[in-house]
Copies of this chain bind each other. A is one copy, B any other.
Amino acid sequence: MLEGKFDESTLLKKIVDSVKDCVKLCNFNCTEHGITVQAVDDSRVLLVSLLVGQTAFSEYRCDRDVTLGIDLESFSKIIKCGNNEDYLTLLAEDSPDSVMTIFEDKKKERVSEYSLKLMNIDSEFLKIDDMEYDTVINMPSSEFAKIVRDLKNLSESLNIIVTKDSVKFTSEGEVGTGSVVLKPYTDMDKPEESVNVHLDNPVDLTFGLKYLNDIIKATSLSSTITIKLADKTPALFEYKLDVGGYLRFYLAPKFDEDE
């Protein structure tokens, strides 16, 4: 039996909304440690890896491992049925054919329950190796989101060049060219505003803005984003959950051009 209770329904709502635009169906793998999801987007380019640690729940119990094959579109609709401050509990049997979502109002005596039919979804669970990266950037997630939104007006590709004292984002298109240059910067008062660059080797990589645009849907999950880059290697874009866990996106750079 799985029983996971969130203190507020917003967390799960944000998580599902962060992913549902690029992944329609996925397996929630529930273990005693929490819930993980691995999925590729519909074009099989972007790899999504989610961990909701058991610390993210106010109560959590998972007697034996269980896999919930969920249609995120429908699940998202269900989650929106609660009020943001409601307790949200996920419930499933050991061999479930459905998952129950229960909302409880904190003050009032109001309980709502929604059961969602599960699906059988094949997916190999990929073992993702911990990698060495050439560069690790830590920056405000909202700032990264703005850069992606602004530059996607100009072309389909975003080039990222990191040197020891700057990060440069560039997009070149028909009507014009845009670039944003960030210098590492430490804000004492608001550390989440800081831009931090750890660099072993400079990198010069290009990514599809279509996919980056899916990635930034997760902006509300964390005030900062960590970007790990290495030549000819899928980049890692990570949003850490305050309460324990993360949402990670792996995206391979474009190879073909100019070399």
Contacts and interface: CB of A to CB of B under 8 A. Distances in A.
B182 A110 contact: yes
- Oligomer copy total: 2
B175 A117 contact: yes
Interface in A99-124: 108-117
A120 to B, nearest CB: 15
Given A74-B175, A175-B74, A176-B78, A181 B150 contact: no
A181 B114 contact: no
B109 A185 contact: yes
A183 to B, nearest CB: 3
Interface in A112-142: 112-117
Interface of A: 71, 74, 77-78, 80-81, 98, 108-117, 150, 153-154, 174-185, 193, 195
Nearest to A165: B109
A78 to B, nearest CB: 7
A110 to B, nearest CB: 5
Contact of A110 (B81, B98, B175, B181): B181
Contact of A111 (B117, B176, B181, B185): B181
B77 A181 contact: no
Contacts of A181: 110-113
Nearest to A99: B176
Nearest to A111: B181
A114 to B, nearest CB: 4
B115 A77 contact: no
A174 B74 CA distance: 11
A78 B178 contact: yes
B177 A115 contact: yes
B183 A109 contact: yes
A77 B114 contact: no
B175 A116 contact: yes
A180 B178 CA distance: 48
Contacts of A80: 150
